A and B are shown apart, each in its own frame.
Chain A
């Protein structure tokens, strides 16, 4: 039987607790230095925080690695200053809202323009991020279908998704940028007349297609990754996803098949510096330099080989000529600008109060 040296132990433990609390609190506030507007002191190990959408961790992991080119070059050019990158990944829209609500990201790598605009509208991005190189895009991917081996349900095009009784996996549009890309792809393909059975330039027909598709959706996954995992685990007949997610899954042994519809949208993913945060963390110059680096040939190569993304140049993307790899060519590759631009799609034609998707979702759930 042991006797607790109770008084001494209690005092020691309390001191230890106070000490630990103080240390962790101070480390938390020092690495996320907020509020202090004063002259920026260049530290030895500045920390840059990146908020990314769910799929790109492998590519950014390599791009931001402490053994990577950017960190190495910066160190050589800046007296041994060792940049540390910290990253958080999640559904694109969730991440954007988090940043608006105070998440201290210095750089955002999101899955579609409107999510970056959310942050700009909130006043955190003060420069015109779309006027930079490649309009701020760092890669292109496309919306594809992931089906069971042998494609038992014969899913080739968007109209096949509307067949009754099919179980479709696609993420929740309120959280995931990927969900909105999927919807826009279906809408665009129908509007361009590339979907058999649906008239071109006919919003009513586009709505009909969306309604048919979404009657077959009964999941609320929070990100494109979740949909894919769900599908891999055996749920559903088809998952609408990004090409690079499907390719990454195939690379890690997934036996499911990927089908590219004849007409699909070019998923152009933007990256931008969050000026307000980067300035208050005194890392604006590093953040700007890193975003510049993302447009370099070497970065593009990494996006290709590690991220399975097609090149930013749309002609090359459509032909399937990657920076390093080859992709399947696409019959009709269109951008959101080709079907009206994000503003119109979000506010009016697709996601607006009378938009094709809004009405289709209501009808499908009603």
Chain B
């Protein structure tokens, strides 16, 4: 940083401005600067985020709890919400376990293909969600090599739950891996080695020494996956099939309600969905920010 600061230093080492009276002006200017920054930030987030969110929540709760309940009784609402919750939970659990394995492998081992593995894990961050769905259709759809094989054996992937699960696992993969990885990095290997020397098996060492440190990160990653999976639209819509109870997820259902011109019902389901995932994201923030630097 020396270079940047250095360019501001003049020959004369004395401060450029005279002291005393202008100090007050400087403070005032700093305060004004702070206030104007703050107002910009408040205006930006207030107008762009808080206001639209309020619009949905107010519409959803507008008629009171009774109206909310009535809107949720719209045909298909319960099923869609339950399906989304169920699939998201399954996604979170699978990715919590396997994502931790991937993170562990990336941190602790050196092997051929490690760099490729790491890059593959980040791909879901970069690829558009709709393209994810399209890729799955290309791989498992009725006209593809792989898909034809599965359908012939009576196992349907696209337009059925396995396809949706694959899509959700794809988009949430990096969430667990990238949450757990930094924590693993920072773990002191000495603890583990001590345990091994004292005779603990590999699994016991992992369970009693490593896992407690990882727990909050794994849970945070899992919750984040859940929140993300419950709201996923782009990857799901193209392979959904809209079968109630089987493949009609909540976000696709909300889209149907909007197309049906039922904004109240849509807002009600949306408020529920959003409330759930926002709470989870907040909890996740708490869990990840709590870790030691």
Which residues of A come within 8 Å of B, CB atoms?
Answer: 90-91, 94, 97, 172, 174-175, 218-222, 226, 230, 232-235, 365
Nearest residue (CB) in A for B163 is A233
* Contact indicator A175/B260 (Cβ below 8 Å): yes
* Contact indicator B259/A91 (Cβ below 8 Å): yes
Is B290 on the interface with A (CB-CB < 8 A)?
A: no
Stretch at the interface among B228-236, B237-245, B275-283: B237-245
* Contact indicator B141/A220 (Cβ below 8 Å): no
Nearest residue (CB) in A for B154 is A234
Contacting residues, chain B, for A226 (C-beta < 8 A): 242
Is B261 on the interface with A (CB-CB < 8 A)?
A: yes
* Contact indicator A220/B151 (Cβ below 8 Å): no
Distance of A365 Cα from B243 Cα, bound (Å): 15
6 A-B pairs whose Cβ atoms sit less than 8 Å apart in the complex: A220-B244, A220-B248, A222-B256, A222-B259, A230-B242, A234-B160
Is B158 on the interface with A (CB-CB < 8 A)?
A: yes
With A172-B256, A232-B142 known as contacts, the answer to whether A218 contacts B244 (CB < 8 A) is yes
* Contact indicator B159/A233 (Cβ below 8 Å): yes
Contacting residues, chain B, for A94 (C-beta < 8 A): 259-261
With A175-B260, A220-B248 known as contacts, the answer to whether A365 contacts B242 (CB < 8 A) is no
Query: What distance in Å separates the Cβ of B135 from its nearest Cβ neighbour in chain A?
Result: 16
* Contact indicator A230/B256 (Cβ below 8 Å): no
Contacting residues, chain A, for B156 (C-beta < 8 A): 233-235
Nearest residue (CB) in B for A230 is B241
Query: What distance in Å separates the Cβ of A300 from its nearest Cβ neighbour in chain B?
Result: 32
Query: What distance in Å separates the Cβ of B82 from its nearest Cβ neighbour in chain A?
Result: 15
Distance of A219 Cα from B245 Cα, bound (Å): 9
Nearest residue (CB) in A for B248 is A220
Query: What distance in Å separates the Cβ of A132 from its nearest Cβ neighbour in chain B?
Result: 28
Q: A175-B256, A220-B242, A220-B248 are in contact. List 16 more A-B contacts (CB 8 A).
A: A91-B259, A94-B259, A172-B260, A218-B244, A219-B243, A220-B76, A220-B244, A221-B242, A222-B242, A222-B256, A230-B159, A233-B141, A233-B142, A234-B159, A234-B160, A235-B241
Distance of A347 Cα from B156 Cα, bound (Å): 41
Q: How many residues of chain B are within 8 Å of chain A by beta carbon?
A: 21
Contacting residues, chain A, for B141 (C-beta < 8 A): 233
Nearest residue (CB) in A for B80 is A220
Query: What distance in Å separates the Cβ of B78 from its nearest Cβ neighbour in chain A?
Result: 12
Contacting residues, chain A, for B160 (C-beta < 8 A): 234-235
Contacting residues, chain B, for A175 (C-beta < 8 A): 256, 259-260
- Residue of B159, B160, B245, B262 most packed against chain A (CB within 10 A): B159
With A218-B244, A365-B75 known as contacts, the answer to whether A234 contacts B151 (CB < 8 A) is yes
Query: What distance in Å separates the Cβ of A152 from its nearest Cβ neighbour in chain B?
Result: 15
Picked from B244, B253, B260, the residue with its CB within 8 Å of the CB of A174 is: B260
Which residues of B come within 8 Å of A, CB atoms?
Answer: 75-76, 141-142, 151, 156, 158-160, 241-245, 248, 253, 256, 259-262
Query: What distance in Å separates the Cβ of B12 from its nearest Cβ neighbour in chain A?
Result: 25
Contacting residues, chain A, for B158 (C-beta < 8 A): 233-234
Query: What distance in Å separates the Cβ of A171 from its nearest Cβ neighbour in chain B?
Result: 9
Query: What distance in Å separates the Cβ of B4 from its nearest Cβ neighbour in chain A?
Result: 9
* Contact indicator B243/A234 (Cβ below 8 Å): no
With A97-B261, A234-B159, A235-B159 known as contacts, the answer to whether A218 contacts B245 (CB < 8 A) is yes
Distance of A90 Cα from B260 Cα, bound (Å): 12
Query: What distance in Å separates the Cβ of A148 from its nearest Cβ neighbour in chain B?
Result: 12
Nearest residue (CB) in B for A253 is B143
Query: What distance in Å separates the Cβ of B255 from its nearest Cβ neighbour in chain A?
Result: 8
Distance of A97 Cα from B261 Cα, bound (Å): 8
* Contact indicator B242/A219 (Cβ below 8 Å): yes
- Residue of B158, B242, B243, B245 most packed against chain A (CB within 10 A): B242
* Contact indicator B241/A233 (Cβ below 8 Å): yes
Contacting residues, chain A, for B151 (C-beta < 8 A): 234
Nearest residue (CB) in B for A221 is B242
Query: What distance in Å separates the Cβ of A64 from its nearest Cβ neighbour in chain B?
Result: 25
- Residue of A174, A221, A235 most packed against chain B (CB within 10 A): A235
* Contact indicator B241/A219 (Cβ below 8 Å): yes
Distance of A220 Cα from B244 Cα, bound (Å): 7
Query: What distance in Å separates the Cβ of B239 from its nearest Cβ neighbour in chain A?
Result: 8
With A234-B142, A234-B156 known as contacts, the answer to whether A218 contacts B243 (CB < 8 A) is yes
Nearest residue (CB) in A for B141 is A233
- Residue of A94, A172, A219, A220 most packed against chain B (CB within 10 A): A220
Query: What distance in Å separates the Cβ of A169 from its nearest Cβ neighbour in chain B?
Result: 9
Distance of A94 Cα from B256 Cα, bound (Å): 10
Query: What distance in Å separates the Cβ of B46 from its nearest Cβ neighbour in chain A?
Result: 21
Distance of A91 Cα from B242 Cα, bound (Å): 15
Distance of A183 Cα from B290 Cα, bound (Å): 59
Contacting residues, chain A, for B75 (C-beta < 8 A): 365
Nearest residue (CB) in A for B158 is A233
Distance of A226 Cα from B158 Cα, bound (Å): 14
Distance of A218 Cα from B244 Cα, bound (Å): 6
Nearest residue (CB) in B for A226 is B242
* Contact indicator B256/A220 (Cβ below 8 Å): yes
Distance of A210 Cα from B237 Cα, bound (Å): 29
Query: What distance in Å separates the Cβ of A233 from its nearest Cβ neighbour in chain B?
Result: 4
Contacting residues, chain A, for B245 (C-beta < 8 A): 218
Distance of A109 Cα from B206 Cα, bound (Å): 65
Query: What distance in Å separates the Cβ of A176 from its nearest Cβ neighbour in chain B?
Result: 10
Distance of A175 Cα from B259 Cα, bound (Å): 7
Query: What distance in Å separates the Cβ of B5 from its nearest Cβ neighbour in chain A?
Result: 14
Query: What distance in Å separates the Cβ of B155 from its nearest Cβ neighbour in chain A?
Result: 10
Contacting residues, chain B, for A220 (C-beta < 8 A): 76, 242, 244, 248, 253, 256
Distance of A97 Cα from B260 Cα, bound (Å): 9
Across chains A and B, which 7 residue pairs bring their CB atoms closest together, nearest first?
A233-B159, A174-B260, A218-B244, A94-B259, A230-B241, A221-B242, A219-B242
Nearest residue (CB) in A for B245 is A218
* Contact indicator A235/B243 (Cβ below 8 Å): yes
Distance of A97 Cα from B156 Cα, bound (Å): 36
Contacting residues, chain B, for A232 (C-beta < 8 A): 142
Contacting residues, chain B, for A222 (C-beta < 8 A): 242, 256, 259
